[in-house]
Amino acid sequence: MLTPERRRSLLTSALGLVSLVLLWWLVATVFDLRIPTPPEVVSRVGESGWDFYSHHFGMTLQEAAVGFAYGTVAAVVLSSVVLLLPVVEPVVMQIAVISYCVPLVAIAPVLFIVIGNPDEGQRSGTATALAALSVFFTTVVGTVLGLRSADRSSLDVVQVFGGGRLRQLQKVQLIAAAPQLLAALQIAAPAAFLGAILGEYVGGTQQGVAVTLKIAQQNIDVAQAWAIGIGCALVAGFFYLVFGLIARVVTPWSKGAVA
């Protein structure tokens, strides 16, 4: 059952969304700008049909999901290594910072040259790689901070019973890191989706969200471009919400678990 605070939060969010749509409608109607009205965008979605969007968004979601999995596993493993072997921390953190500082737009063509064109109907390797890079830094930082937040007395208890660093990591630190890890994944999931879209722009794929945006741009199909852009925002927001809900269920003791 929703608490009064939660109901007020949902009501505020709904009012904000409605206000934003009304403002968009007003600007599109009053000003002489190339902005479609909400009904025009909805009509364009109906013309294209569910199959069109499910096909192209489905391909991009596959690329984002694979990249998200690779990036998350790599980040968690390297963060654990930092706890077990503190001497490698400078190297791991430098790798994470470099992956964050290098602009994805600059590295995308390099990855495309290395990975090459995907086969017809296959995922773009460039899109998958950029999705993985998009989540790596955030997840590394969140996981390392979480692992270090473990209660010292709990670690001492494990040590007293003969447990070493690996046992402390398994029994205490990974559990302590769960709230920060899930908070990092809440940000990383939308980033993976947007990274996959960017990878598709240079990844030579014949399907996906980026392809539909290119076609809409070439045809000056403004309503279609807006429909796809709003769809991307909804997908990214959906995964942000999903990981917030997972955090509430998995780590109810954490005040930072938000949905």
For the stretch 168-195, what's the b/e string if a residue is b when 16 or more beta carbons lie within 10 angstroms of its beta carbon?
bbebbbbebbbbbbbbbbbebbbbbbbb
**Over residues 50-63, mean pLDDT:** 91
pTM recorded for the entire structure: 0.85
Tokens of 16: 């904000």
Tokens of 28: 């599109």
Would you say 82 and 144 are in contact if contact means Cβ atoms under 8 Å apart?
Answer: yes
Give me the pLDDT at residue 255, please.
58
Whole-number Cα distances in Å, 190 to 42, 77, 129, 184, 246: 24, 21, 15, 11, 15
CA atoms of 200 and 191, how far apart (whole Å): 14
**Over residues 157-163, mean pLDDT:** 79
What is the DSSP code (8-state) at residue 170? I
What confidence tens digit (pLDDT) does each residue in 75-132 have?
A: 999 988 888 888 888 888 888 888 888 888 888 888 888 887 776 657 788 899 999 9
What confidence tens digit (pLDDT) does each residue in 2-43 have?
A: 677 777 877 888 888 889 889 988 988 888 788 888 999 999
Could you please state the CATH topology (level 3) that the domain comprising 36-250 is classified under. Answer: MetI-like fold (1.10.3720)
Burial of 60 (0-12, 13-18, 19+ CB in 10 A): buried
CA atoms of 87 and 249, how far apart (whole Å): 35
Tokens of 83: 């706890």
| Residue scoring higher pLDDT (257 or 252) | 252
Would you say 127 and 60 are in contact if contact means Cβ atoms under 8 Å apart?
Answer: yes
148: closest CA among 116, 180, 118? 180
67: closest CA among 144, 146, 139? 139
Domain regions of the chain by residue span: 1-35, 36-250
H and E: helices and strands count for the chain: 11, 0
Assess whether pLDDT exceeds 70 at residue 259.
no
Burial of 126 (0-12, 13-18, 19+ CB in 10 A): buried
Give me the pLDDT at residue 257, please.
46
End-to-end CA distance of the chain: 15
CA atoms of 20 and 23, how far apart (whole Å): 5
